[in-house]
Amino acid sequence: MVNPPRAINVIVQQLHSALSSKKRSDGQVNSLIDEFNNLPFTKNECEYFAIHRNIEPLTKLICEEIIPCNEILTSKTSNLLHKLFNKTNHEFSEELWETVTMWRIESLHLCSGNILTDVVFHMHESLPKRTYLLAKHAESLIGSEGLIIKILKDHISNQENCNVDNVKTSVLLVRIISYLTMHLFQNPKKYTVNINKEVIAGTLMELLMNGVPKECEFFYNMALEPALQTLSHLFYHNPDINFSLSDAISIARHFILYGLSIRNTKPEKLTPIEHADVIEPVKISPNAGKKQKLRKPRNNAIENLKKETSDPNVMKDVDQFSSDSVYEPINKKFLDPPQFVEYTDTSTDFSFDMKYRSDVIDFKAIIRQCAAKLFLVIIKVKGKREIFPYWYKFMPNNSEPQHWFNTENGKKSLIFCALTDSSPKGRTSALGVVLTLLSGSRPYLAQAETSTRVNASVVPFPVTLGYMLTCIHIGLINILTREKSESVAIMALKCTAALAQATPYHKLQPGLIDGLIRCTKKFINQKDINIQLGSLVAIGSMISVDPKVDEILRVLKDDEPDVKPENPKTACANEAECDDFEESYPDEDVAVTIERQAHLLKEKYEKSLQLTSWVIVVCFKNFGIVFHNNQIMNRSLPPVPIILETLQVLSAIAFHYLGELLRPHLVMMTELLSDMLRINQPDLTLQCAKTISVIADGMQKLERTEYALSIKESLCVWEKLLHPLCGVLQSRENPNAKAVVCDCIANIGEKCFKEMLRPQQMLCCALLMGSCCDSHPAVRAAAVRALAMAVMYRTLREYIRLRYREVPELDRISDNLLVRLMEASVVSAIDNDKVKMSAMRAIGNLLRILTRENLAYNPTLKPLFETGINRLLGCANHVASMKVRWNACYALGNVLKNEYLFICFQGWQAQVLPALCNLAQTSKNIKVRITAAVALRSCARRWQVGALLPPLWRSLLEALDSAAHLDDFSEYKHKDNLAEQLCVTIAHICCLLEPSDLADILDPLTYHGETAKTMFAEVYHKLLPEDISCFKILQAAKYVNMDLVPQNEIQARALNILKNIFLLEL
């Protein structure tokens, strides 16, 4: 029966009197507090309104008179205050809340055991609503010598006497710490407390590393979620915090598997692998020659310029400027590792009685997800370089990969968690950690290889990596095969793409990527558009594997694809399939339609019905063409993001397997691309132009293979593409697409350009010249670059010369054309750095093709020549961008190859040669020094050098001496190339020597002779016999020993030193 309000009033009055009396009886106070605590409080304000008049004075009196010195009385008082503040409807003042908070903090100093648990519990109950009250005392609670930290450390150190009460207290203390740290971070301006975050993190990690006995596990689980959350929060927002990486990874690995393969609460201490000396990033360069980014393909016309040069090594160092051909999704963030999501607060659904509730929370599933977030933060803060030595502890690694799932190592791996966690969120979280580890790990995993010895007593580290990668492949194949959850499948596809980009398949056992591709194929026709995108990205990444492996092409040509033939009549039903697509890809609502006549397509491409690959079928389907009952039919196009990603996959096919897969269907595919260029959708136009550029580049590469296209086929391709490309170039919008179209025109190639109709040739040149004045710098740069390539076509030059002979008035047009090109290039040379790089090339190419007739009959070219030389010298010496300097040096080398310039102009070489010598000797960038050294051997005649030969010789020997003592470790990888190019240049200049020059070069020979001899010997023995550099050095050695004859003693001394330098052991 509920007591009437009058009874409560009596107790309140008696307790007030007892506490106010000077002769206070502790027994009476105890009795009254017990009676008050035993009252059946409810929250019925109507029933207990009478106590509201006296409750605040009583509360204040309790806090003032009952000093927490007696544990029993303190415990009872704490219970009473908790009932008053939490079980009634009365709104207490902030002053009273502060008073009670201070009383509870003082109580912590005295209490122990279950009484301490009660006090801490009552303190915790006011959170998170009243966290600000504790935040005012944060420094005394969680500072370096904070009371809560001290109590928690005492409990951790007292593991021998660990019991349920101690664990409960630890749980409450951890939750209070979590609330406080979160609150302080969210309100940095409000509190100026000085707390030691390293102490907090260290204390929590010590708690987690110690674990608890089995009987305390349930209550201990309640501390794991806030502890892991707080550690993630501290590490993420304080990346400079000092903590034990080994302990942190041990905790993250242990609790991400908690409740799966790991049942105990104490983590195993993980240590890094002992072979730390071999864990260094390895630059992958499996094949010589320049690599190409799919999203920004280079112009193949550069290769034609290489053929034009007299020295094949002129462009050797350009290879260093590009990166590997790694597949990049259209959505650049698609393969980004999962980001750490900030915790808003510690879970408030908390009670020690939850064990006996029917709706008990599965703590372990939540704990695993928190551990995954901690894993992500650790990787972000420490970086892959420091995490990599621990991989073998949380990745499957077994010499028999097919059985990794049953091994102890396998059961403690992230892949095991992704396979066995009952919660889709848990599986997704584990795969998110795997994705984070795999992304960008190609330099580390490049060491992996397959062992040829089965029973090796000591397994080398690269072989261990090979086992690990094999197990990861098998695990992902299992996940892709059995997974039903869409979110988990998307994350698994992302992991597949990252794994394909990071794995050196050419050094591992065959069959790995075969299984991945076959598992990925089944997701292409899923209804969820994000899954379709994930499968396309994964397939594109596997197609882009470099070096190539035979099994990729074999599985791509599989005659039994998992893609079922689609009836175009039912295709329309699949257009509005995914409701969550709009969140990530707002372009879904863009309607894209192309009208085609299916029967005409069938007549044109009857022979193309025998498709070379199922992935080509997918591309055609996503471009609006399906093959049904041996007929080509239209279908409605999918959403724009699907088309864009398909174009990127097509770019990967064109770059890696153009001849094997795309070559038979190239004409049909280019017509589809031509249709898509006409769609008024900027992203689609841009990506379509990029794909065409890659295809054009690949078509020129095929000229040297068995898959080469005939001139008729090439013309057919460009006839379909040229008109829509020119339409893009003439539009006022989409400057990025216009820049790529300029690259496409530059990639037409000289052979195809020669056979094109004259109006088409002139149209290309006219549009490129007009684009040189575009307002967007990227378009100007691409146009200038394309023009620089076009002027090198013999076809165009011969046509102009023939027309001049037929119509003399065209001489003026020719000169005017050169003048306009030179003016555009000179003006572009003072634009931004991206434009400058192309302008340097254009000026160099134009000055190289000038003839004596051009210079004699058009005086306007003379001041342009001087201005062009000044622009090149200015950019080579003073521009901050090293790529601009490199291009300027290359252009100066082109200028030096034009013999007419030495005849028609005087004195300019006195500026160019010393500038190049200075760059070859002192530039901080080794690539610039290499290019300057190459440019210095462009002078083919002795008279072109004149009196500059002695200082030129001295500078080259000093540059070689400097290269021998190179101390910049960041540029050390280019040292051999620099030494080779300097030696070849010295050998070239040596072949220009006359007997009268020997006396002038005696001093530098004497001073640098020994160093030169050593460097020449090292370079010569590293070169292959068929290398052109080797031939140049041998040619110089022959000239010095057999053709050069001294005329006096001084010349003989210089010649003997030269012979000693070229005394090579054959």
In a domain, 372, yes or no: no
Alpha helices for 524-597 (secondary structure H): 529-543, 550-556, 568-571, 581-584
In a domain, 578, yes or no: no
Closest CA to 831 of 759, 783, 890, 799: 783
pTM for the predicted model, two decimal places:
0.71
Query: Backbone dihedral region of 734: left (phi > 0), alpha (psi from -120 to 50 degrees) or beta?
Result: left
In a domain, 681, yes or no: no
Closest CA to 285 of 529, 547, 649, 491: 547
pLDDT tens-digit series, residues 854-874: 777 778 888 888 899 999 999
Query: Which of 504, 538, 555 is the endpoint of a domain?
Result: 555
The confidence score (pLDDT) of residue 912 equals 93
CB 327 within 8 A of CB 540: yes
CATH number, position 199: 1.25.10
The confidence score (pLDDT) of residue 304 equals 41
Report helix, strand or coil for 817. Answer: helix
In a domain, 67, yes or no: yes
The confidence score (pLDDT) of residue 74 equals 83
Alpha-carbon span 100 to 92, nearest angstrom:
11
- The helix-helix angle for 758-771 and 735-746 (nearest 10°) equals 140
The confidence score (pLDDT) of residue 631 equals 73
In a domain, 275, yes or no: no
The confidence score (pLDDT) of residue 869 equals 92
In a domain, 15, yes or no: yes
CA torsion 679→685→687→691, rounded to 10°?
A: 80
CB 424 within 8 A of CB 330: no
Query: Which of 496, 527, 555 is the endpoint of a domain?
Result: 555
Instruction: Tell me how many degrees the CA angle 755-759-765 measures, rounded to the nearest 5.
Output: 90
Instruction: Tell me how many degrees the CA angle 478-483-485 measures, rounded to the nearest 5.
Output: 160
The confidence score (pLDDT) of residue 37 equals 78
CB 365 within 8 A of CB 259: yes
Residues of the chain with pLDDT under 70: 1-8, 40-54, 275-325, 340-361, 451-457, 559-609, 629-630, 796-815, 967-973, 1064-1066
Burial of 1047 per CB tally in 10 Å (0-12, 13-18, 19+): exposed
Asked if residue 128 has a cis previous peptide bond (ω within 30° of 0), the answer is: yes
Which residue range forms the structural domain that includes residue 147?
Answer: 5-211
The two three-digit tokens of residue 852, written as one number? 């004596």
Report helix, strand or coil for 592. Answer: coil
In a domain, 250, yes or no: no
Number of separate domains in the chain: 3
Report residue 679: phi and psi, to 5°. Answer: -80, 135
Query: Which residue reads 């509201």 in tokens?
Result: 52
The CA R_g of the chain, rounded to the nearest whole Å, is 39
Report residue 116: phi and psi, to 5°. Answer: -60, -40
Query: Which of 165, 189, 211 is the endpoint of a domain?
Result: 211
In a domain, 12, yes or no: yes
